[in-house]
Amino acid sequence: MGATKISSRLPVPASQLQAPLPKRISPGLAVPPIWMRSEVPVAYIDAVSRMEQRVDAILSGDAPETIWLLEHEPVITAGTSASECELLDHKNIPVVTAGRGGRYTLHGPGQRIVYVMLDLTRRRRDVRALIQALETWVSAALLDIGVVAGPRDGRVGLWVDRSADKGVGHEDKIAAIGLRLRRWISFHGISINVNMDISEFNRIVPCGIDDSRYGVTSLADLGRKASMIALDEALAGSFTRTIGRLLPTTSY
């Protein structure tokens, strides 16, 4: 199967996430995910509400799996493992408790959010396999736009080697992953720093890692001029050869 074209994979306005699709999904039918993209930043609480509605619709057979591409208004979110001592400065920015796994992270314009609502009953009921598939997918998309990034043992997310410009052993995080499952439907997902102000991450201890060797980066910080649209195209183009291969949809 060839690479997916973003224009053919994002045919539906993101507003439709607020309501189930009219046609039910047959339990035995392998239906590819639909892709949606919001063109303006979405408040975090509103996005979570829409995701929960979509998860319910997937569970009831009223909607297919969904990949939602968006940006958030500025917000700090606290995952289920967040420690208050890791919140350093929350002046003039809301802090929201998130139901996802992980610790503190920060969202805002210039960061691509990828909410991944996949039915693991149709794929494979294996959370570790899902996380590894998401890491492989985002790594492949970043490589397509010229950035080498990957997972590291003991550190969640995707990391870029900065030894050449910051010193041996230095690495920066470019993408974070935090998930939640409801009856084997995933939601929440991935954040990828494109051209956001990474100095804002000084407000928190990102993902609980307090080590001067490890920082935060973005495509812009790395000197890549890739746009949000270019990243979306890379994500769509690499989905089938990564998620589709590692967690293929099956009937049940």
Q: Which residues are known to be catalytic?
A: 207
For residues 148-171, one letter each, b for 16 or more C-beta atoms within 10 angstroms of the residue's C-beta and e for the rest, the string is ebbbeeeebbbbbbbeeeeeeebb
From residue 87, alpha-carbon distances to 68, 96, 252 in Å are 28, 12, 44
Contacts of 139 (CB under 8 A, 6+ apart): 149, 150, 151, 158
Per DSSP (E only), the strands in the chain are: 12-13, 34-37, 66-70, 75-78, 95-97, 104-107, 111-117, 150-152, 155-161, 171-182, 185-193, 214-216
* Short-list 142, 153, 155, CA closest to 103: 155
**First vs last C-alpha separation in the chain:** 22
Contacts of 44 (CB under 8 A, 6+ apart): 72, 73, 75, 77, 94, 96, 98, 107
Evaluate whether 105 touches 191 at the Cβ level (below 8 Å). yes
> 158 forms bridges with which residues in the sheet?
175
Any long-range contacts for 11-16 (C-beta under 8 Å, 24+ apart)? 12/36, 14/38, 14/39, 14/42, 14/68, 14/70
